Structure 1
């Protein structure tokens, strides 16, 4: 985009408004580089990121951004092996910590999906290692005492030496008050000294470091502390060298990761820029526009961002695909120039990925160039008149314009003879129309009114004037040419009636009819505008209501499911305790031989049915429909595959399994654990064959628990033992593996407790050894 249009439309001032919400230096850099582009996919990506960011902030709160320094020069110096101060490392640390916090914030986002913005967030590099290195830099930007053992020792010795010096000096102070001009310890030439009276300087032997201007005071370092101070000075030199060494090593450790640091700081700038856009959008009630495929522009209630929101007038502007030129005609009052600038600014902002000051549903086009000739271009230095300056600018524009251009002309053809100016204006508009460029032009020439009516792809427009209150309304009226209100205004200003009547007589009948026609069109347009406003208000209310109801319904459904699952979980916990207690009672009864094995199994299944399942209810409907298609219903006779026994379906349980009655036993089985038995007529045909077939159990004599979790293994073992008892198996093998021994110990404890186990032992070495147990049942 040419720089001139950015200057004409004051794009930098608009960016400055948005930049007020930036927090980081990186964000400031990104804002400085921001300019309009014509890549539709990239612009749409910017808009999607902004929309997703807004949804995240509304649901999860603001992103934790804070002030950070620009690291560009610091990182470059590290690459050049230059020395850095600890405060510069502190700036790196702060930026990396912010990057880490920002990444963690988005990782913890709930209830919002952000696939487009997520592509940017995923580019953050994990900098935990670098933050660990930089822990030696404290919050004040100084190198921590614990950065190295040597540094710690040196600083501790320096502190001890300073304390000893202060102790000695304090002792001298207390004993030599009469010899001192001041009872304080002061510093001269970096050494602690006492202010000694000139006539008492021999009473406190030491090194004189300074003397007062009057000569009455000598600043003396007592001999008792000279050696101590020398030792301290030596240790401070060693400390300085050690600090320099540590910082050099720190820079060397960071150097290989400079690209990662640059990546993270760039991403901080991106997030900060998006945050500033969002805050501007909220503050200014701006919106993210749609992007047209065919340069069509639809702006609803568009406002200029540099005009005070309290006084700015919002205007609709429709520039559809078939329309190539809009000519705003009428007198030089009423905001024609602002309308031009509002369109241009909206396009610049949109093509920079910024929200525009217009209502929801607004649409912008994509233009490779925007040209404008707006304002007084008179050049004294070049001795050019206003007309010449404008025409020079227009010539440059016409040389570059094409079908992907948007052209804005203010007072086209002004500054010369009206007839010639009008002819030039029409010819220029015709030329731009032949290039298929979108053009918005203002003019006060009446000839362009007819041009707008007679030419295809051209539309008249005007700025409404309130004659009742005698002031411009600054509202754009499309489809209606502007009319001069000179006679009416003059009449209200008190011009004599005789003059007004004579002036009206000079107007031709056609001119009079045109003014009447325009007045009629203005009235009809006003009525249609009011109707459209009412419809739009109703649509907006409906949209808001629909949005609120949708969110309320979503929240209600989510809360309902949470409460239902909470209730089911509580019921499950209660029943689980009851089942465990009942299980203990059954075991006690079993030990007293009051119940048979199959009765115990039946009782356990009945107790298990009491526990409610936490399931997706919608899935149950689908399951029931699928079962119905197969003809499964209560009363149907089935063959239970695991027991090779017949049973009858009783009812479909909540969890999608069927309750099956097998003699005295009732159990729950999934659909793949049984098969419907064919009708009796079919059975008769194969009766002879069936008699010859030996009935055998499908249950295997081995249970494999390897790789199964502890709780699941317990349940599998318990169910398997029930099935083995029903199948009258004499010997079974439990494969539990060796592993950590947890499953093996569980199996051994279970077998020890069971009254149905006659004996058990580990398998032979060639059959699994201690990884399997051979069990003999009673």
Structure 2
């Protein structure tokens, strides 16, 4: 397809309408490169893909691919034997994760038969080992300790040395507070230092790193901390080297799979683009047109995609019809109708839905040519007529029977009689070559040509005689008639002048009376068709209303039961909360053992049986979707580490890839990590119930309270400590974040009051710092 037609009809702007629905950079790149095709099979395949997505949305209304960045540069670096950085690994990790999610989505898809997208979903390849290895790089760009035993050892030593430095400086704060200007630990040049009064600078041996502006304070690194800091620097160098080695090993693991990873990324991007096509169709009331086997074009309720409030028009361009001549006054919408036809063909031949009603058809043209607008050039000494004729000459030299030609104001810009003659000659030439043509013109001579010539049809844009304004309605089969005398009379021109003008006009050759009768008949037929359409729409609404009432009646009983269960559960939850408060008070006032408290809680919970949700369809589906399978991301309960299931073993055991390490775990030793689709589904209240129940399965050494409300966080903390005591855990981690400090303060107060907490303190800086508290239990 020639680029000029794409520029004239602003095809790039049309494609930008689809960009708002895209989620992946791969989809954006494919949309940018999208051009019209002349291959009928490819066009039909593109339309079938859109219909496949439509079928998917009937079952899964929230179907999405997820966001994805372009990894083509990373693939090229791998092919060039270069090592990837952390951000590049995160991009590939996202590809692997979305690949697994889409394949699982396709596997679980029921009651939907796919024709074209099936081969794409089945073309996705999952790599559980690679997924598990890349779990060592978390979403924040931090390489986890379990990435390698050496890294874990180095960081453990770093934590120990940093703890020794903190302890050393804390001792100085306690024992030699009089020498300090402030009782705090400062930082200078990456070292922890003490703010010492200048008068006591010789009382604390060490290295001076800075002096305050007033000179009254000297920042000293005590001698004991110097050696520790030197060792910390050495360990940090070892850590950097080990991180580089890990990145190299991960890159080596990915290198043999470059082609498959690139193909997965392309498939995800392509599915994302097809999804965007469907969402555009749904939101703009578009359609997927049929592809005619001949040159028939039929557009029903067609609209221009770039207009804010376009008027819908029907266009019937049958196979045997060679030309349509649109006549009428300026600003009536003739050019818009011309562009609507051109854009509908460009969009459809690019595999995009069009803004039209169902039943529309498009033909496949090898080329589309257009001469639209005035392109006169002072520099090239081209008048309006010359510029039009230059383009028409170029079109006539290239167009053939597989072309569509759109000509705006054919023959304009010169003597009317000569221009009309040239226009008819050009049209006759195109007709004899069997080239489909749509033309707009002002010349009345062309009306007669359209009536007298075979395979040529007149058309016009409707004009409201009462308001003297165009309605932008397309009237096919009716030529445009002159409204000059009526408009002049309504605008106040003297009746005598108008009458004299009418007398000077050759009424015998005027076809206005014939046109007026044709308009009347066409309008009457249109009114009847509109009435039929209204009746059909009323029938559809009635049918939808009946179905809606039937569905509401069918589900009323289940909804009422579910409502009753929820109310009962609220009462139970309130009773459990009150019992927790009672036990909490007893624990503070009496020396009860942890297992006695937990047993008491269990007895109280038995008093209120939980709601039977086994027959709830939503919860059953949620439960089934959490069955472990190869490629699932998991969290090892005992260590809180992320991994991926790679193989199912005997006796319910699984092989999992955790960083660069493989390990065997039972189904009771891990929980499934949340996926992108899982995160959306867990927003529902019913699935939250399942999540809370599953969350308590198996002992865990880490609790994450970030994003929780204060009351909810305190309840989870209390249950978590009870669980840890029951499982004889000596140490647990509580992640509360920094934020406003409310959760962190609540955690601190709770731990101070709990008699079973031996000690607690903030985690090392590289392991969360003040956003995480490490708790040692009795």
Which residue number in structure 2 is paired with residue 266 of structure 1?
266
Matched position secondary structure for 1:353: coil
Task: Answer with 322-331 or 136-145: which moved more.
Answer: 136-145
Which residue number in structure 2 is paired with residue 448 of structure 1?
446
> Match for 2:514 among 506, 512, 517?
517
Q: What are the superposed Cα offsets for residues 692-734 of structure 1, whole Å, 9 maximum, x if unpaired?
A: xxxxxxxxxxxxxxxxxxxxxxxxxxxxxxxxxxxxxxxxxxx
Shift of 1:181: 4.5
Which residue number in structure 2 is paired with residue 319 of structure 1?
317
Alignment of 1:679-690 (within 5 A): none
Q: What are the superposed Cα offsets for residues 43-99 of structure 1, whole Å, 9 maximum, x if unpaired?
A: 111111111210111123332321111101111111112232223211111121112
The alignment status of 1:404 with 2:402, answered yes or no, reads yes
Q: What are the superposed Cα offsets for residues 113-170 of structure 1, whole Å, 9 maximum, x if unpaired?
A: 1132212211111222321221211232221100111100101111111121122223
Counterpart Cα distance in 1 of 2:110 and 2:94: 27
Which residue number in structure 1 is paired with residue 294 of structure 2?
294
Q: What are the superposed Cα offsets for residues 298-339 of structure 1, whole Å, 9 maximum, x if unpaired?
A: 00000011111xx31000011000001101011112111110
Counterpart Cα distance in 2 of 1:335 and 1:500: 27
Matched position secondary structure for 1:37: coil
Kept in 2, the 8 Å contact 1:179–1:200? The answer is yes
Counterpart Cα distance in 1 of 2:49 and 2:206: 73
Which residue number in structure 1 is paired with residue 156 of structure 2?
156
> Match for 2:532 among 535, 545, 552?
535
Counterpart Cα distance in 1 of 2:290 and 2:419: 38
Shift of 1:523: 0.5
Counterpart Cα distance in 2 of 1:182 and 1:404: 88
Counterpart Cα distance in 2 of 1:452 and 1:553: 55
Kept in 1, the 8 Å contact 2:323–2:456? The answer is yes
Matched position secondary structure for 1:343: helix
Kept in 2, the 8 Å contact 1:64–1:102? The answer is no
Q: What are the superposed Cα offsets for residues 177-235 of structure 1, whole Å, 9 maximum, x if unpaired?
A: 45444443333222222333444332332212334455444332221100001111101
Alignment of 1:3-402 (within 5 A): 3-308=3-308, 311-402=309-400
Shift of 1:556: 13
Which residue number in structure 2 is paired with residue 613 of structure 1?
none
Matched position secondary structure for 1:529: helix
Counterpart Cα distance in 1 of 2:61 and 2:403: 41
Kept in 2, the 8 Å contact 1:401–1:435? The answer is no
Matched position secondary structure for 1:115: coil
Which residue number in structure 2 is paired with residue 714 of structure 1?
none
Shift of 1:544: 7.9
Matched position secondary structure for 2:501: helix
Counterpart Cα distance in 1 of 2:401 and 2:542: 42
Matched position secondary structure for 1:241: helix
Matched residue count: 554
Distance 1:216 1:437, change over 3 A: farther
Instruction: Return 5+ residue gaps in structure 2 as ranges.
Output: 555-778
Q: What are the superposed Cα offsets for residues 613-650 of structure 1, whole Å, 9 maximum, x if unpaired?
A: xxxxxxxxxxxxxxxxxxxxxxxxxxxxxxxxxxxxxx
Which residue number in structure 2 is paired with residue 621 of structure 1?
none
Which residue number in structure 1 is paired with residue 612 of structure 2?
none
- TM-score if structure 2 supplies the norm length? 0.68
Counterpart Cα distance in 2 of 1:428 and 1:200: 104
Matched position secondary structure for 2:123: coil
Q: What are the superposed Cα offsets for residues 271-324 of structure 1, whole Å, 9 maximum, x if unpaired?
A: 10111111111100101101011110000000011111xx31000011000001
Shift of 1:347: 0.6
Kept in 1, the 8 Å contact 2:64–2:272? The answer is no
Distance 1:172 1:347, change over 3 A: same
Kept in 2, the 8 Å contact 1:371–1:406? The answer is yes
Matched position secondary structure for 2:301: strand
Kept in 1, the 8 Å contact 2:327–2:447? The answer is yes
Counterpart Cα distance in 2 of 1:244 and 1:30: 34
Shift of 1:487: 0.9
Matched position secondary structure for 2:238: helix
Counterpart Cα distance in 2 of 1:293 and 1:549: 39
Distance 1:49 1:261, change over 3 A: same
Which residue number in structure 2 is paired with residue 475 of structure 1?
473
Which residue number in structure 2 is paired with residue 741 of structure 1?
none
Matched position secondary structure for 1:203: coil
Alignment of 1:631-650 (within 5 A): none
Select the structure of larger CA radius of gyration: 1
Distance 1:415 1:29, change over 3 A: same
Shift of 1:503: 0.8
Distance 1:235 1:460, change over 3 A: same
Counterpart Cα distance in 1 of 2:476 and 2:194: 89
Matched position secondary structure for 1:489: helix
Matched position secondary structure for 1:184: coil
Kept in 2, the 8 Å contact 1:63–1:105? The answer is no
Considering only aligned residues, what root-mean-square deviation do their CA atoms show, in Å? 2.4
Q: What are the superposed Cα offsets for residues 401-430 of structure 1, whole Å, 9 maximum, x if unpaired?
A: 111111111111111111121112111112
Counterpart Cα distance in 2 of 1:552 and 1:58: 19
Counterpart Cα distance in 2 of 1:170 and 1:47: 71
Which residue number in structure 2 is paired with residue 670 of structure 1?
none
Distance 1:340 1:216, change over 3 A: farther
Task: Answer with 526-535 or 22-31: which moved more.
Answer: 526-535
Which residue number in structure 2 is paired with residue 423 of structure 1?
421
Matched position secondary structure for 1:505: helix
Shift of 1:438: 1.1
Instruction: Return 5+ residue gaps in structure 1 as ranges.
Output: 558-778
Kept in 2, the 8 Å contact 1:301–1:358? The answer is yes
Matched position secondary structure for 2:342: helix
Distance 1:546 1:431, change over 3 A: farther
Q: What are the superposed Cα offsets for residues 368-425 of structure 1, whole Å, 9 maximum, x if unpaired?
A: 1111111121223333222222222222211111111111111111111111211121
Kept in 2, the 8 Å contact 1:298–1:364? The answer is yes
Which residue number in structure 2 is paired with residue 726 of structure 1?
none
Counterpart Cα distance in 2 of 1:177 and 1:554: 76
Counterpart Cα distance in 2 of 1:65 and 1:392: 49
Matched position secondary structure for 2:111: coil
- TM-score if structure 1 supplies the norm length? 0.68
Distance 1:218 1:481, change over 3 A: same
Counterpart Cα distance in 2 of 1:188 and 1:323: 85
Distance 1:534 1:162, change over 3 A: same
Alignment of 1:693-732 (within 5 A): none
Which residue number in structure 1 is paired with residue 665 of structure 2?
none
Counterpart Cα distance in 2 of 1:195 and 1:382: 80
Kept in 2, the 8 Å contact 1:54–1:278? The answer is yes
Kept in 2, the 8 Å contact 1:60–1:110? The answer is no
Counterpart Cα distance in 2 of 1:493 and 1:450: 29
Kept in 1, the 8 Å contact 2:138–2:144? The answer is yes
